[in-house]
């Protein structure tokens, strides 16, 4: 094992049950006086691939930030492997470093995540904060750049990259630390179809079955590829927690959570109405 | 100045500033100042800036300014770009501040504008202020343009500047970059929706409104950037792949800076 490799994290306990990675208990979070999360409770087990589904403003991004110890609950508790994520806990350098090493977040807007002068510096930023030896940092950064197919971009300024390249560099800048938990905020939004599938393929190739991946999204078409469990949020609370197939089958829930909208189109002069263009539907013969 | 010109100037300035700050192209040129250890450069240039600020004699300030120009050339910086982005801007702001001194400083009248007399002492004070500012701004700009920002922060840290200040500076840098990017996007978006020409009053009103929105947008984005830095383990301590190491050339530069500062301080009293 390399000097800075994370020790193998247990994903099951002695009895064979999956270990709890995150536990949110009656969490409330207010932005000034507006409640973004209202009494939200959720448990995430180690190794799970979860999709947080919800319309804009449903609280997905806020929940991810609470799970990453960037914001702190106004009421209730968020725990990571049994330890409460509080402001005072994150002020402790040892705890913060250990936590940051294990949990990584990819922001929705790659521009806020890319703040270094070159792509190489960007990917090296996290390992440098961990205080790893120079040679290991160089190895890991090159490996991460190769993995996203961006070795040729290493000397480019991140702001000059295309949307898809920015997103891949943002993912590499987090995955280079090889965390156990990856939080992704709308990883495929505003990407063209090819970039979208590149990002999904990258995430699939990274996951070895032991990683916990929590993805906030409102794109139903990628649900099956990114998750084994779907949690639907509405107005800052969990309104459904089921398999992706069950959630996708529940059009009434999806419509209520503003994840789909009625879609009308014409077929042979006959008007049809479907819950969403993204959901599978068949037509009778005309 | 018409608002259209103002809008173009702000846009051009923000683009240039964004490019300079983000890509740090000039900091990676193979020039004289770029070859120095950032700590030596930081201490040397700050000492020279302080000397320029404290000097009382015009020839000394002019000499420091001239030295700045020579160093800019030796560091492969474009004098035209320096003139447009540094010297003209510094001159405009300082001249505005110094203007009243022309008339208000008591002394011998050398020129009359209407009922107001420009005094020799007033003109000298204004000239001293402008030269001092130009010299100090030139030397500080040289430091920033020839040193990668993170190297500069690390050099400050080695001089025992507190972590909190370093974190604040790291944020400020990204904030300025975001400000310029957002300003460009807003100008372009406005341009794309404009038909015909706005009159001067409407242009100015738009500029003021844009300024307000820009400020709150960049504050929000700046905060996001800081969260993104924290999320990857940033605790205010600057870490680099390269460790600073003093070489022979740095010792020569140290002695050169010391000699220049002492000479300028003595001559400038």
- Mean local confidence (pLDDT), B148-168: 83
Do A128 and B239 lie within an 8 Å CB cutoff? yes
Which of A107, A134, A159 minimises the CB distance to B228?
A: A107
Write down the residue that tokens 């010391």 correspond to: B258
Do B231 and A93 lie within an 8 Å CB cutoff? no
Indicate the SS3 state at residue A16: coil
Indicate the SS3 state at residue A10: coil
Which of B174, B178, B239 minimises the CB distance to A129?
A: B239
Which of A70, A137, A174 minimises the CB distance to B230?
A: A70
Q: Which residue of B has its CA nearest to A173?
A: B232
DSSP A12: B
What is the pTM for the complete model shown?
A: 0.74
Helix H or strand E segment including A144: helix A134-147
Q: How far apart are the first and last CA of chain B?
A: 40
pLDDT-derived band of residue A28, with 50, 70 and 90 as boundaries? Answer: very high
Do A115 and B229 lie within an 8 Å CB cutoff? yes
Write down the residue that tokens 């968020």 correspond to: A78
Query: What is the pLDDT, as a whole number, of residue B140?
Result: 93
Which of B23, B148, B231 minimises the CB distance to A105?
A: B231
Write down the residue that tokens 């120009």 correspond to: B69
Task: Confirm whether B155 is domain-assigned.
Answer: yes
DSSP-derived pairing of the beta strands A237-242 and B116-119: unpaired
Residue A274 — left, alpha, or beta (φ > 0 → left; ψ -120 to 50 → alpha)? Answer: beta
Euclidean distance between CA atoms A12 and A15, whole angstroms: 8
Do B233 and A96 lie within an 8 Å CB cutoff? yes
Cβ burial, residue A28 (10 Å; 0-12/13-18/19+):
middle
Identify all chain B residues contacting A87, using CB atoms and an 8 Å cutoff: none
Write down the residue that tokens 């959901």 correspond to: A279
Which of A:106-135 have CB within 8 Å of B? 107, 109, 111-113, 115-117, 121, 124-126, 128-131, 134
Euclidean distance between CA atoms B184 and B202, whole angstroms: 19
Do A117 and B22 lie within an 8 Å CB cutoff? yes
Q: Which residue of B has its CA nearest to A103?
A: B231
Annotate B161-184 with b (16+ C-beta within 10 A) or e (fewer): eeeeebbebbbebbbbbbbbbbbe
Query: How close, in Å, is residue A72 to chain B by CA atoms?
Result: 13
Query: What is the pLDDT, as a whole number, of residue B1?
Result: 45
Identify all chain B residues contacting A104, using CB atoms and an 8 Å cutoff: 231-232
DSSP A17: P
pLDDT tens digits along B198-237: 777 777 787 788 778 878 877 788 788 889 999 999 888 8
Q: Which residue of B has its CA nearest to A69?
A: B231
Overall size of chain B counted in residues:
269
pLDDT tens digits along B55-64: 889 999 999 9
Which of A70, A96, A157 minimises the CB distance to B235?
A: A96
pLDDT tens digits along B72-102: 999 999 898 889 878 998 999 999 998 888 8
Query: What is the pLDDT, as a whole number, of residue A268?
Result: 66
Do B241 and A109 lie within an 8 Å CB cutoff? no
Do B232 and A115 lie within an 8 Å CB cutoff? no
Angle between helix B248-267 and helix B58-74 axes, rounded to 10 deg: 160
> B116: which 2 tokens?
């107001």
- CATH number belonging to domain A20-249: 3.40.50.300
Selection from A14-18, A127-131, A282-286, B69-73 with the highest mean pLDDT: B69-73
Number of domains in chain B: 1
pLDDT at A1 over 50: no
Give the start-to-end residue ranges of the domains of chain A.
Answer: 20-249
CB pairs under 8 A between A and B: 72
Which of A70, A93, A159 minimises the CB distance to B235?
A: A93
Q: Which residue of A has its CA nearest to B218?
A: A112
pLDDT tens digits along A180-196: 999 999 998 878 888 88
Do A129 and B149 lie within an 8 Å CB cutoff? no
Identify all chain B residues contacting A137, using CB atoms and an 8 Å cutoff: 241
Which residue range(s) make up the domain with B234? 3-75+129-267
Angle between helix A119-129 and helix A163-175 axes, rounded to 10 deg: 20
Cβ burial, residue B206 (10 Å; 0-12/13-18/19+):
middle
User: Is any Cβ of chain B less than 8 angstroms from the Cβ of A138?
Assistant: yes
Do B241 and A124 lie within an 8 Å CB cutoff? yes
- Mean local confidence (pLDDT), A216-230: 89
Tell me chain B's radius of gyration from C-alpha atoms.
22
Query: What is the pLDDT, as a whole number, of residue B103?
Result: 85
Do A157 and B228 lie within an 8 Å CB cutoff? no
pLDDT tens digits along A261-273: 766 666 666 666 6
Q: Which residue of A has its CA nearest to B23?
A: A117
User: Is any Cβ of chain B less than 8 angstroms from the Cβ of A93?
Assistant: yes
Selection from A185-194, A274-283, B165-174 with the highest mean pLDDT: A185-194
Write down the residue that tokens 């503003």 correspond to: A258
Percent of chain A's residues with pLDDT above 70: 85
pLDDT-derived band of residue A7, with 50, 70 and 90 as boundaries? Answer: low
Indicate the SS3 state at residue A85: coil
Residue A235 — left, alpha, or beta (φ > 0 → left; ψ -120 to 50 → alpha)? Answer: left
Which of A117, A157, A173 minimises the CB distance to B232?
A: A173
- A79 close to A85: Cβ distance less than 8 angstroms: yes
pLDDT-derived band of residue A50, with 50, 70 and 90 as boundaries? Answer: very high
Phi/psi of residue A182, nearest 5 degrees: -120, 125
pLDDT at B104 over 90: no
- Contacts for A69-74 with beta carbons within 8 Å, 24 or more apart? A69/A96, A69/A99, A69/A103, A70/A105, A70/B227, A70/B230, A70/B231, A71/A29, A73/A27, A73/A28, A73/A29, A73/A37, A74/A28, A74/A29, A74/A30
Helix H or strand E segment including A88: helix A87-91
Do A117 and B148 lie within an 8 Å CB cutoff? yes
pLDDT at B3 over 70: no
Which of B22, B225, B228 minimises the CB distance to A157?
A: B22
* Helix (H), strand (E), coil (C) string for chain B: CCHHHHHHHHHHHHHHHHHHHHHCCHHHCCCCHHHCCHHHHHHHHHHHHHHHHHCCCHHHHHHHHHHHHHHHHHCCCCHHHHHHHHHHHHHHHHHHHHHHHHHHCCCCEEEEECCEEEEHHHHHHHHHHHHHHHHHHHHHHHHHHCCCHHHHHHHHHHCCCCHHHHHHHHHHHHHHHHHHHHHHHHHHHHHHCCCCCCCHHHHHHHHHHHHHHHHHHHHHHHHHHHHHHHHCCCCCCCCCCCCCCCCHHHHHHHHHHHHHHHHHHHHCC
Write down the residue that tokens 């204004």 correspond to: B126
Identify all chain A residues contacting B239, using CB atoms and an 8 Å cutoff: 128-129, 131
């Amino acid at each position: 094992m390399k000097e800075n490799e994370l020790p193998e994290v247990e994903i099951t306990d002695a009895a064979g049950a999956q270990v709890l990675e995150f536990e949110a208990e009656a969490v409330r979070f207010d932005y000034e006086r507006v409640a973004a999360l209202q009494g939200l409770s959720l448990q995430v087990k180690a190794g799970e691939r979860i999709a947080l589904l919800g319309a804009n403003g449903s609280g997905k991004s806020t929940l991810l930030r609470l799970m990453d110890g960037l914001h702190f609950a106004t009421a209730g508790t968020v725990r990571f492997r049994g330890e409460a994520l509080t402001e005072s806990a994150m002020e402790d350098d040892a705890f913060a470093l250990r936590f940051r090493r294990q949990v990584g977040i990819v922001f929705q807007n790659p521009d806020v995540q890319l703040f270094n002068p070159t792509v190489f510096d960007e990917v090296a930023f996290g390992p440098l904060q961990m205080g790893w030896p120079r040679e290991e940092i160089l190895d890991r950064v090159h490996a991460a750049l190769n993995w996203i197919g961006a070795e040729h971009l290493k000397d480019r300024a991140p702001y000059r990259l295309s949307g898809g390249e920015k997103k891949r560099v943002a993912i590499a800048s987090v995955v280079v630390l090889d965390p156990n938990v990856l939080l992704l905020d709308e990883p495929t939004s505003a990407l063209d179809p090819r970039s979208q599938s590149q990002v999904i393929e990258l995430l699939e190739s990274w996951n070895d079955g032991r990683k916990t991946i929590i993805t906030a999204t409102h794109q139903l078409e990628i649900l099956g590829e990114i998750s084994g469990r779907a949690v639907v949020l509405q107005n800052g609370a969990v309104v459904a927690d089921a398999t992706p197939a069950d959630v996708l089958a529940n059009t009434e829930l999806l419509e209520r959570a503003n994840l789909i909208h009625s879609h009308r189109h014409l077929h042979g002069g006959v008007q049809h109405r479907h819950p969403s263009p993204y959901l599978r539907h068949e037509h009778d013969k005309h | 100045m018409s608002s259209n010109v103002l809008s173009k100037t702000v846009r051009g300035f923000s683009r240039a500033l964004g490019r300079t700050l983000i890509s740090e192209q000039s900091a990676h040129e193979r020039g004289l100042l770029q070859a120095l250890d950032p700590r030596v450069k930081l201490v040397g240039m700050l000492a020279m800036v302080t000397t320029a600020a404290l000097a009382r004699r015009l020839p000394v300030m002019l000499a420091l300014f001239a030295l700045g120009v020579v160093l800019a050339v030796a560091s492969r910086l474009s004098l035209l770009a320096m003139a447009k982005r540094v010297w003209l801007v510094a001159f405009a702001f300082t001249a505005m501040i110094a203007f009243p001194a022309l008339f208000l400083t008591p002394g011998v009248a050398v020129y009359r504008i209407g009922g107001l007399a420009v005094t020799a002492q007033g003109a000298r004070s204004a000239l001293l202020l402008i030269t001092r500012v130009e010299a100090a701004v030139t030397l500080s700009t040289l430091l920033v343009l020839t040193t990668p920002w993170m190297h500069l922060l690390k050099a400050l840290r080695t001089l025992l500047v507190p972590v909190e200040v370093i974190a604040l500076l790291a944020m400020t840098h990204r904030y300025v970059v975001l400000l310029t990017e957002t300003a460009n996007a807003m100008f372009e978006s406005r341009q794309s929706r404009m038909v015909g020409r706005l009159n001067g009053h409407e242009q100015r009103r738009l500029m003021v409104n844009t300024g307000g929105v820009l400020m709150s947008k960049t504050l929000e984005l700046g905060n996001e950037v800081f969260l993104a830095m924290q999320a990857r383990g940033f605790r205010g301590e600057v870490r680099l792949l390269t460790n600073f190491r003093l070489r022979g050339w740095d010792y020569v530069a140290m002695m050169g800076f010391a000699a220049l500062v002492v000479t300028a301080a003595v001559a400038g009293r």
